[in-house]
Amino acid sequence: MSEVRVRFAPSPTGALHIGGVRTALYNYLLAKKLGGKFIIRIEDTDQNRLVKGAEKYILDSLNWLGLNADESPEVGGKFAPYKQSERIEIYKKYIDQILETEFAYLAFDTNDELDILRKEYEQKGLVFSYGVDTRKKLKNSITLSKNEVNELIDNGIPYVVRFKIPENKNIVVKDIVRGTFTVESKTLDDKVLFKADGMPTYHFANIVDDHLMEISHVIRGEEWLPSLPLHLLLYEAMNWDAPEFAHLPLILKPEGNGKLSKRDGDKYGFPVFPLNFTDETGKTSIGYKEFGYFPEAVINLLALIGWSNKDNKEIYSLDELIKEFDLNEVSKSGARFNPEKAVWFNNYYLQQKQNIEIVPLFQEILLRNNISIDSEKDLAIISLLKERAHFVKDIFEESLFFYERPSTFLESDLKKAVKEDTKSILENIINLFSEIDFKEDIITKTITDFSEQNHIGMGRIMMPLRLSLVGEMRGPNVPKIMEILGKEESIKRINLFIDTI
């Protein structure tokens, strides 16, 4: 078997959807499993739809996820350049080559003329197609003489190059995911290969690049499946061997009806892009990274949307995915996106991390909120609150009381916690606290001994203590909170609470 070479070839016309990320992931997994190469190629021939910054966004997204390319616009490679806009002269060479065969021709029809035809067909309840049944009636190098064609070219009349679909041919299509099926050529239209502006279309540039870059497998979304018969005919016309193809199923909306879109993310409150993306109107859509997901959680999540092995295992490292992945196990049907499962994966990876690993991520959030960092204190807070969290930001949100003294209290909490003797109880507790080493176990023993010696229920001590420290009747173990806050801050908060009541 020759070297496996796969490519992910996005168009920089906007943010990279997680469906595209999954396509990149499956390409990467196959390449690495079979000891091959993962190539990133930017398909930017549609200059009118390019979005500023989109190319960098795509590359940054893949790098964040650890899907590092062996060849790309960033790292280069022996088949550079890897941007189609920098390969125009290559396409011109091959368009001249295909024009020397019977499989391509020049078409001089204007857009206005074709629009008129479409409307005429619509009025008859038909759909116009430039192809086998119509091309012999239109303005092209099939119907015009060589002299007429040359005259039009000499006069600067714009033209496109179209592929000439063979008549009455059965095209056998083989797909790793979809199986084998047959398409009749008469159902296809004569696609434009080269536009009047001198740029190739996706169809032509795609097969030229895949051939020249020695791509062995084309793994892409199922929206490209209808183009596969044309691409096979193009390979045949150029006398090139076609790669193997695999068309991946859609990622569906959570309710299952239709392709997952940005609107679904807005509706359900989850990201559909890997990183934050600001569109041309200035609106920013949150990404998985900024939402708080770990890259390994996103990789694990996406790998299992449309693929699973016979063991139905759920947790995979990237190395395990490389070992286990098999294109033959990819489902033909679309798979629903499950937002709750995404959170579950992130929770798993958060709990697996050492507390010290989380400190830098936690401190990033602190700094964004203008809170000074204290590595010892921050590590203690993470250790206390991590098991309750799905994201690092959850730890921060649950820890706000460590950084802000409570100043107001709910009336219902005060009624529950404050009794006639609460003030004297807290004053006695403060006196005891001032004499002890402020560690959790010693604080616990001091409170317990006071409770037993004075025959005071623990609730009458712990509830007002919790309220004074946290500001609410919630939170983790009170003595641990006090140890992290420190003696001075804890006593200060208790005194402020006494003043309040």
Q: What tens digit of pLDDT does each residue of 314-323 get?
A: 999 999 999 9
The values of phi and psi at residue 298, to 5°, are -65, -45
pLDDT > 90 fraction of the chain, expressed in percent and rounded: 93
pLDDT at 424: 97
Q: Is 123 exposed, middle or buried (0-12, 13-18, 19+ CB in 10 A)?
A: exposed
pLDDT at 281: 85
Q: Is 97 exposed, middle or buried (0-12, 13-18, 19+ CB in 10 A)?
A: middle
pLDDT at 501: 86
pTM above 0.85, yes or no: yes
The values of phi and psi at residue 440, to 5°, are -55, -50
The closest of 466, 471, 470 to 408, measured between CA atoms, is: 471
pLDDT at 18: 96
Q: With respect to CATH, is domain 1-68+249-352 assigned 3.40.50.620? A: yes
User: Any idea which residues carry the catalytic annotation?
Assistant: 262
What span, in angstroms and rounded, lies between the C-alpha atoms of 168 and 23? Answer: 34
pLDDT at 415: 95
* pLDDT above 60 for 447: yes
* pLDDT above 80 for 459: yes
Q: With respect to CATH, is domain 90-194 assigned 3.90.800.10? A: yes
What span, in angstroms and rounded, lies between the C-alpha atoms of 10 and 272? Answer: 16
Decide: 285 and 277 in contact? Cβ < 8 Å.
Answer: yes
What span, in angstroms and rounded, lies between the C-alpha atoms of 27 and 210? Answer: 14
Every domain range in the chain assigned CATH 1.10.10.350: 405-500
What's the mean pLDDT when you consider all of the chain? 96
pLDDT at 308: 85
What confidence tier does 267 reach under pLDDT thresholds 50, 70, 90? confident
Every domain range in the chain assigned CATH 3.90.800.10: 90-194
CATH fold, domain 405-500, is: Arc Repressor Mutant, subunit A (1.10.10)
The closest of 363, 278, 214, 391 to 15, measured between CA atoms, is: 278
Every domain range in the chain assigned CATH 3.40.50.620: 1-68+249-352
Could you identify the residue written with the tokens 């790292």? 75
What confidence tier does 96 reach under pLDDT thresholds 50, 70, 90? very high
* pLDDT above 70 for 1: no
Classify strands 192-194 and 160-163 as parallel, antiparallel or unpaired. antiparallel
What span, in angstroms and rounded, lies between the C-alpha atoms of 144 and 128? Answer: 21
What span, in angstroms and rounded, lies between the C-alpha atoms of 437 and 128? Answer: 87
What confidence tier does 268 reach under pLDDT thresholds 50, 70, 90? confident
Q: pLDDT tens across 333-344, in order?
A: 999 999 999 999
CA 272-273-275 angle, to 5 degrees, is 145
The closest of 468, 458, 474 to 489, measured between CA atoms, is: 468
Q: What is the mean pLDDT of residues 413-420?
A: 95
